[in-house]
Amino acid sequence: MKKEYVIGVTGASGACYARRLLDVLSARATVHVIVSDVAQRIARHEGVDFSGFPAQYYENSQMFAPIASGSRRYDGMVVIPCSQKTLAGIAHGYADNLITRTADVCLKERRPLILVPREMPLSEIHLTNMLRAHRAGATIMPASPPFYHHPENIGDLVDMVVARILDHLHVEHDLAERWGGPDA
């Protein structure tokens, strides 16, 4: 059976991460996409377009979407980038839109939920919310790519972040070279 995932895109810089994940994941799985209004505006500013992928798209206001129910089965969710507002909502169970509701479903159903915050520096409030979400079952993966593979462009850095996300979703890929030690 084909795997099925939800991608939530929220209002933080870094739409390129979401677009690349959508590009790779939609070729390997069924994908549901929710892009918040602020994320749409930021993506346009950053020159990123989410259209044209074989995916089911939802408005963030569609609280009756099938993915908002625990009875609708899917294999996990990634919120990328994850704004601090969305992180706070998820960490505190405040599910006032489709992204936070679907994340809440993942936590209560014990499905993988990966949050990719793209913010710095982090305040104590941000860190506390990350810890709270982690304790509830989310995986926190800041968009913080490594440099051991000697990236040559921004796409290489984006691919390293997306590769780690795919690893945690147990999705096979060949996006990035794996660490083999300094002499490998």
The reported pLDDT for the residue numbered 184 is 59
Cβ-based neighbour number of residue 71 at 10 Å: 7
Domain contains 105: yes
Domain count within the chain: 1
Q: Are the CB atoms for 33 and 9 separated by under 8 Å?
A: yes
Domain contains 176: no
> CATH number of the domain that 120 lies in?
3.40.50.1950
Q: Are the CB atoms for 32 and 6 separated by under 8 Å?
A: yes
Find how far residue 22's CA is from the centre of its chain: 10
Domain contains 93: yes
Domain contains 73: yes
Domain contains 179: no
The reported pLDDT for the residue numbered 176 is 83
The reported pLDDT for the residue numbered 50 is 94
Domain contains 182: no
Per-residue pLDDT of the chain (184 residues; tens, 9 = 90+): 799 999 999 999 999 999 999 999 999 999 999 999 999 999 999 999 999 999 999 999 999 999 999 999 999 999 999 999 999 999 999 999 999 999 999 999 999 999 999 999 999 999 999 999 999 999 999 999 989 889 999 999 999 999 999 999 999 999 988 877 777 5
The reported pLDDT for the residue numbered 103 is 98
Domain contains 156: yes
Residue range(s) defining the domain that contains residue 112 = 4-169
Domain contains 124: yes
